[in-house]
Every structure is written in C-alpha cells, then in structure tokens.
Structure 1
Amino acid sequence: MTTLSHVRLWGNPLGTVILQPGERFAAFRYDADFSRNRIPVAPLMMPLSEKPYVFPDLALESFHGLPGLLSNSLPDKFGTTVTNAWLMQNGYAPDAVNAVERLRWLGNRGMGALEFFPSTKEPRPEPRWVDRILQVETLVRFSNAILAWRPPPVSQKPGDPSMEADILDADAMADMLRVCTSAGGARAKAIIAWNPKTHEIRSGPAPVEQGFEDWLIKFDGITQNRDKETADAKGYGVVEFAYYRMAIECGIFMSECRLLEEGGRRHFMTRRFDRLAGGEKLHLQSLAALAHLDFNRAGVYRYEDVFDILDRLEAPRSDAVQLFRRIVFNIIARNQDDHVKNMAFLMDRSGNWSLSPAYDLTFAYHPGGNWTDRHQMTLSGKRDRFTLEDLVVCGKRAGLNRETSKKIVAEIRQVVAGWPGYAEDLCVFPHQRDRIQKGLRLDIC
C-alpha cells in the first residue's frame, strides 16, 4: 500500500513524501505554491524544483530511505527504542512500520519547524495524547525499563505480555512516546515544557502564557543506555554542564543550560534553540541532513568543508569565527563525538540561514574504542595529534590572521586548563574529573 504524508512548514504546505509498495526509498515533491515562494529549505541537495527527489544512494541505516530534509526529523537510537516498544505493545512489528508512517506519527512534535500529516485516516494505533504534569523520576524509571527490555523471540507474537508491568501502562507509554521521540541522539532525553518558577514539567507544547518554556532534558542515572561505546554513567549530566560553562567562557554561543536535581541525580537541561520566546518555530537542519553526510562514517568528512557550506548558505560572516572557536574547543577539550549530526543550522521565515547554537559539547574520549578514540571529523587531514599550526591554518578559513587565530587558541586553552576548578565548583565525581583532566589536549600552545 502506498504511504503518503503531507509536509507543512509554518502552517503552509511544503510538499508531499510518498513511499510506493515494494520500494525502500521515498520520493518528495515540493508543493507548487511553495516553490514560487523561493524559500530555500534545503538549498544544498534539494533546490526548489517541480521534479520529485529520490536519493537511492543514501545509506538506509542513517537516512531511512528519506531525503535528508525529512530524515532529520526522525529520532535516533533512544527515541526509536521508545517508539518500537510502543509498537510492540500495540501488536505491531516495528519492521513493518516504514519511515513515512513514523513521520506522520511524529506529527507536529518534531525538532525544527517541519510538520507531518496523513492524507487519510488509516487503521494504525494512535496514542492517547494527554497534556499533563510529568515527574522526572517517572521518566527516568520508564526509560530504564524500556532500555532494559528486549524484543520477544520470533515465535512470540507482538502484544504478548512479556514486558515489564510499568511499560504496559498505556498512559505511561503515551507520555514516553510524546516527549522522548522527538529529539535525536542516542542518549535518553525528553522534549518538555518547563516552568522555571514552579519547576513543573508538562508533556505538551509550552503554554507561554502560563510561564512555561520549551526545554530539552537529558536524563542522568540511565543504567541501560550507551552511546556507541560509552555508557551513560551517573554524573554525565554535570560533566556536560561544566563543559557548557567552559564553552561560554570560550566565547562559544550556546542556548541557556541548567541542572535539574532530583533523587540524587542531576539532569542536564538546555533551552530549545529551535523555538523562539513566543513559541514560534525555526527551521532546523543538521549538517548531516543539509549536505547528505552519513554520520556513521567516522573520519570521512572535513571541518574545513563546513566553512564552504556557511558561504553557500550566505550565513553571517561572524558564524565562520564562531565555527573556528568550536573546532578549537572540541580539539583541546577532547570532544571527539563531533560527528555531522552534532552541528546544525537554522533558517528563519525570510529564508535566512545561520549556524545554530552549539550543542552536545562534552568530554568524549574512549581510548581504543571504535567511535571516540579519535575525532569524527578531520582537520588538516587528521583525526588526532593536532598541532598549533593546524589550528592557525584553520583560522584562515574563518578570515582570521595568524595572530588572531593564535590568540583565540590561547584563550580557549587557558579556559580549558581551568577544568579542575569547574569540576570542583560543580562537585563532579573525582574519578570523572581526573579522567577528563588526563585527556585534555593542553599541549597545543
């Protein structure tokens, strides 16, 4: 059966995505009226055109048979795990649900401004959306339960009561599906509406008039999850918050971040940068989506090429200097999980593109591992053993002279060298503090 979804942007028809029976790759066609508006929602790989776009060369594992413009909206490991558990509970085999159907279930809850709607009502299970107050402790407990669950044997039918009793609660599963399946990344996280005065958390869009704001929360104390090769150790959230503080001191632009303490855990929170203060949405595309780069291909893509992409997007010139600061920070502070999904771009209603605030800046170094033993992106053809000259040459791509580049490197190195103080102020566990200290590249000077 043909699967179709209408795609909207800021309430207006953007186009239609169709997956034909027996096909693995969906076709997207822009709406004729939108094409006349000349707003470049995917300028690098999908310029406005009347012809359909299909990309059979994109890796299925990374793009799910969709153009990057649309696959960017689907969740990654954790969100997919939650979705699959909900499907099994409702009697459906996850493999039988294609990517276009998953986009339709995402609806208007995704990151960025794209929204997805079916053309007709189809006999698929629908969660019971109820906007209500949530407890972080409950979300953590359900996250651990879902991640601990394993699919039943092939001989066992979907819907068999083999899952933990907590997961079988329909309301709890609906809550998890609503808040935990919108954001990307492998870490357990949720998209929430948070009231900074009352500290209430709701599952629906932030009712601004009631003092709620749009935030993302990464759960601390998740025992069953791991991102590639590193587990979500307790204290991971406070380490990321310490890195946020260092990054701000390094002149890196980030959305506001906080720590939420609960039950002996400290959860990392960040204000959503794809939402404006009044709730208006911004169009968001990762580097992977915008340029059709496969985030699973470590060491294939170059930092230098991102400067060219900024030029093609006609982004503000200051974005190039901002990008340079982030590259230097990632290298010195040893954030080696710097793949192409961990960099993004925003577009406003007028079609103006800019580099998004930085995110996922944290210590990521696993010696001997297949993923973070070295950087995911290269600089000067290297993934390790960088020199000051490598960074200075990179600075030229940002329009900086040698003296200015060296000054920025020295400033960032000085801030990162103060890591023990940041760790002490936030009571980072000693074993984490010391392991990070040993991994910093403070010899670049």
Structure 2
Amino acid sequence: MAIELAEVVLWGTTIAVVRWDEQAAVADFQYTPEFQQFGIEVAPVVMPVRAASYRFANLNKDTFKGLPGMLADVLPDKFGNALIDQWLIKQQRSPQDFNPVERLCYTANRAIGALEFLPTQRYFEDDTDAHIEIEKMVRLASLVLQKKQFEIESPDLNGEALEQILQIGTSAGGARAKAIINWNEKDNVILPGHVETKPGFDGWLIKFDGVSENKDKELADPMGFGRIEYAYYLLAKKAAIEMMESRLLEEGGRAHFMTKRFDRIGNEKLHMTSLCGLGHFDFNDPTSTSYEQALVLARQLRIPREHVAQLYRRMVFNVVFRNQDDHTKNIAFLMGRQGRWRLSPAFDVAYSYNPKGLWTSKHQMSVNGKREGFELDDLFAAGEHTGLSKQKIKQIVGEVLACIQLWPDCAEKAGVSHERMINIGQSFRTFDY
C-alpha cells in the first residue's frame, strides 16, 4: 500500500507533516506546533512558519511534483529516478504508483542537506563496509540510462550491485550519473556515502565519466567531460569563486570529477535548499528567473554581504566562461542549527554551451533582461541589486575577465586536449575589457 503521510524531520525533531492527495496530485504541508515555537525559518520566502497548512497546486508538476519547493529539492532527479524505476520494475511495481511522498520516504535519511523523512522505507539492508567498485558502477549506470534490463541481470551486475548504486546514486541530485561516497584517500578505499563517515574518510560527490546516455537536456557528456569540469574548477578558484576541494579520480581510461560535500561538517548535517526550492523559481523555465531575483532573494535571507558579492561574481563567471546551464537548482543556500543562512559553495561550474541547442544556446537565468547578447553595461546593471559600490562591481568584473588568459594553463593541468581547449576558449565572452 502506498504511503500518503510522512513526517519531515530536521536534526532529530519532527518539524512538519506532509500528506499526499492522490486525487488532486498535490501535497499538503503543515508545520508542527512544536516547531512553530523554534523561531527559525527553513523556507522563509514562500513557506514561512505558520499554523495553517500549505498547498501549492499551481506549481509546475514536472518540476515540483506537487510538493513545496523545499521538499521537491530532495527528490531524486533524472538519474536517481532512472535507478528507482529499474528497482520498481524488479519489484513488479509501476513507477507511476510510487507517489512523491513515498519517494521522500524512500530517500529517508540519505538526502543531500539535513531533511529526513519518516516512515523510513528500508527496501534493502545498508552495507556500510561494502567497497565501491567505480568501474562496475559506471557500467551499471550506463545500462540503467539505456534501459537495458536484460543486461542488468548479468552475473557481475547482480542485485547487490543494483542495491549499492541505489543507495549511493539516488540522493545525489541532478540529471547526470553521480553518487555520494566516503573516500579514504590514503588507502584509496571508497565506501557508500549515505551513512556517517568513518575515521580517515571524507564525504565526496563523484560524477561518473564515460557513462552512455549521460546527459542533461541536449548536452551529452563525452568521455573526458570530467577533465573539462576539473579545468573549470581550477579556473573558478583563480577567479575567487568559493568551491569545495575537487579532484579527478582516474580509472580505466576515465577521469571522474569528485568534489567534497558542503552539506556536512564532519557528521553534522546542514539544511540546504536551492534557489528553485526557496523561491519557487522553476528551473525548467529559463524565461522565468533572473540573476537580479537571485540577488534580491539572497539579501532577503540576510546572508553576509560578502556572500552577495560572491553570488554576483559567480554570475559574471558564468557569463564570461559560458556556463549556460546556470539554472535555479545550481544556486543553493545553507542553514545551520542557529537559523542563519549563507550562500553555499559553488557547484556544477562547467562549460555548458551548445549554439544549436534549445536550452544551452542561451543562459537559463537572465541578466538585465537578456539571456544572450550581453554587454558590459548589463553586468554593471545587475550589480546594482547587490548593494555593493560601483567601484566594487567593476573590480569583480575585471578580476573575472582577467582569468581568461589563465584558461590554457588550467586546461592543460586537467588533461583537456589542446583542440578542446582551443574550441572552448574561443567561445568566451571577452567584452574587449
């Protein structure tokens, strides 16, 4: 029988209940009386704490699945849902019968961020000591995305392997194949990352390189995409973009991009919500949201002034270096137990430009009303929403543009081919600055 009622838990306390209305295909969300006295806001913009319930029937069902944005953020995305759908087939269940609240309970305590859901649905036993074989995970991810059910049943890709990738791959978010892992760098041992980290291990997110059918909308990931993302990580650091430590894990001719988790301090969980979840800015509608709106929301959260400047710097970087998959799920905010918000470190910072594509031929968020054809004055105009001085705005733009000359060195260090480095570099917006 499908689950229709779940508790929303934060740091061991039930803060709300969510009930699925099957007939209306929408959820009702209500904060508990106890949490109403806490004095902190987990969704302050669209769902501030109150006694009455919330229902968001008019939100895009493809994006929010009938849930409030904060909860929709937690749901598995394209790759995670592909994994779950394969598991449901094995259980002789229809994916359509697995409602969004049930998917939250499936996620249980494995989600990115701090939200957890009860009743926990344990469909398999956690094996916290099972070593992860990256090569096997890549092959299984390829088969899942290609929907090759027969080959998934092969002896070396058994039910145990599918359970393992379900545990580590369904909560990572995003369209592309990735997983949450715990990595011991000294011994090069990889364990499942959905549980507490053991001494000597750190939590990482790994994006699988060389996975067939691994793409987001029209942008496929060719072999070597991990190297390009790592080159962009090096470049972003040069441009003073705050990012978590990132690496390349090389095996079998592949280079998997890895980045440390920022939603954990040791084993302490931080509450995390995207711009999409916080403001109900639909990441599937690129005409609906501007960077100016993101800057205004950031100031509404009363994040530190330097974080507003950092968000503006990321906008400039995305425009200059053609990260045009800059949708509202790729900006996130963090909150600790004290209820104070901050901008999360940057993530999904990569070359994303297809001049013939429906999506990434233009930016997913506008700047001064434009998604392409920018001029310097557009960047400066957006800066007026930061509360920063004109001098500071020009300084940030100049510092980012100065990093264009560093691209060849970053690409070489990451192992990007010379031809690919040239092709990418030719697309940068220089603004003749």
- The reply to whether TM is greater than 0.5 is yes
- Deviation string 1:365-411 (CA, Å, 9 cap, x unpaired) is 00121110000000110011111111122223223333332222122
- Deviation string 1:222-272 (CA, Å, 9 cap, x unpaired) is 122211001111111111111111111111111111111111111100101
Deviation at 1:288, TM superposition (A): 0.2
Instruction: Tell me the residue number matched to 2:28.
Output: 27
> TM (normalized to structure 2)?
0.96
- Deviation string 1:291-349 (CA, Å, 9 cap, x unpaired) is 01111101221101112111211111111110111011000011000000000000110
- 1:126 equivalenced with 2:123 (yes/no): yes
Q: 1:233 aligns with which of 222, 245, 269?
A: 222
SS of match in other structure, 1:134: coil
SS of match in other structure, 1:341: helix
- Deviation string 1:91-137 (CA, Å, 9 cap, x unpaired) is 11111110100110111000000000128x8xxx8123222111111
- Deviation string 1:38-77 (CA, Å, 9 cap, x unpaired) is 2100000111111111100011110111111111101111
Which AA in structure 2 matches 1:201?
I
Instruction: Tell me the residue number matched to 2:191.
Output: 202
d(CA) in 1 for partners of 2:190, 2:152 = 27
Per the alignment, do residues 403 and 162 of structure 1 end up closer, same or farther by CA in structure 2, a change over 3 Å counting?
closer
Instruction: Tell me the residue number matched to 1:138.
Output: 136
Deviation at 1:163, TM superposition (A): 5.1
- 1:408 equivalenced with 2:408 (yes/no): no
Instruction: Tell me the residue number matched to 2:54.
Output: 53
Verify the 8 A CA contact 1:146 1:167 in the aligned structure 2.
Answer: no
Verify the 8 A CA contact 1:235 1:429 in the aligned structure 2.
Answer: no
Q: 1:370 aligns with which of 342, 358, 379?
A: 358
Instruction: Tell me the residue number matched to 2:245.
Output: 256
Per the alignment, do residues 166 and 140 of structure 1 end up closer, same or farther by CA in structure 2, a change over 3 Å counting?
farther
Instruction: Tell me the residue number matched to 2:176.
Output: 187
Identity of aligned residues (%): 43
**283-292 vs 133-142, greater mean Cα deviation:** 133-142
Deviation at 1:444, TM superposition (A): 4.7
Q: 2:369 aligns with which of 369, 374, 381?
A: 381
d(CA) in 1 for partners of 2:101, 2:7 = 10
**300-309 vs 1-10, greater mean Cα deviation:** 1-10
Q: How does 1:169-318 map to 2 (within 5 A)?
A: 169-205=158-194, 207-276=196-265, 278-318=266-306
Deviation at 1:198, TM superposition (A): 1.3
d(CA) in 1 for partners of 2:62, 2:221 = 23
d(CA) in 2 for partners of 1:426, 1:12 = 44
Instruction: Tell me the residue number matched to 1:154.
Output: none
- 1:103 equivalenced with 2:91 (yes/no): no
Per the alignment, do residues 23 and 281 of structure 1 end up closer, same or farther by CA in structure 2, a change over 3 Å counting?
same
Instruction: Tell me the residue number matched to 1:115.
Output: 116
Deviation at 1:167, TM superposition (A): 8.7
SS of match in other structure, 2:256: strand
Deviation at 1:442, TM superposition (A): 1.6
Which AA in structure 1 matches 2:76?
P
Deviation at 1:443, TM superposition (A): 2.9
Give structure 1 stretches of 5+ with no counterpart.
152-160
Verify the 8 A CA contact 1:193 1:201 in the aligned structure 2.
Answer: yes
Verify the 8 A CA contact 1:145 1:167 in the aligned structure 2.
Answer: no
Aligned length: 431
Instruction: Tell me the residue number matched to 2:323.
Output: 335
- Deviation string 1:196-241 (CA, Å, 9 cap, x unpaired) is 2112111144654421111100011112221100111111111111
Verify the 8 A CA contact 1:387 1:444 in the aligned structure 2.
Answer: no
Verify the 8 A CA contact 2:110 2:195 in the aligned structure 1.
Answer: no
- 1:71 equivalenced with 2:68 (yes/no): no
Deviation at 1:78, TM superposition (A): 0.6
Deviation at 1:432, TM superposition (A): 2.1
d(CA) in 2 for partners of 1:114, 1:305 = 26
d(CA) in 2 for partners of 1:338, 1:357 = 15
Per the alignment, do residues 168 and 17 of structure 1 end up closer, same or farther by CA in structure 2, a change over 3 Å counting?
farther
Verify the 8 A CA contact 2:207 2:257 in the aligned structure 1.
Answer: yes
Per the alignment, do residues 206 and 91 of structure 1 end up closer, same or farther by CA in structure 2, a change over 3 Å counting?
closer
d(CA) in 1 for partners of 2:24, 2:156 = 33
Verify the 8 A CA contact 1:128 1:171 in the aligned structure 2.
Answer: no
SS of match in other structure, 1:100: helix
d(CA) in 1 for partners of 2:288, 2:42 = 25
Give structure 2 stretches of 5+ with no counterpart.
none
- Deviation string 1:126-156 (CA, Å, 9 cap, x unpaired) is 12322211111111111111111158xxxxx
d(CA) in 2 for partners of 1:150, 1:266 = 24
Verify the 8 A CA contact 1:338 1:376 in the aligned structure 2.
Answer: yes
d(CA) in 2 for partners of 1:22, 1:396 = 46
Per the alignment, do residues 68 and 167 of structure 1 end up closer, same or farther by CA in structure 2, a change over 3 Å counting?
farther
Verify the 8 A CA contact 1:192 1:201 in the aligned structure 2.
Answer: yes
> TM (normalized to structure 1)?
0.93
Deviation at 1:425, TM superposition (A): 2.2
Instruction: Tell me the residue number matched to 1:149.
Output: 147
d(CA) in 2 for partners of 1:254, 1:107 = 27
Q: How does 1:388-427 map to 2 (within 5 A)?
A: 388-427=376-415
d(CA) in 1 for partners of 2:26, 2:155 = 36
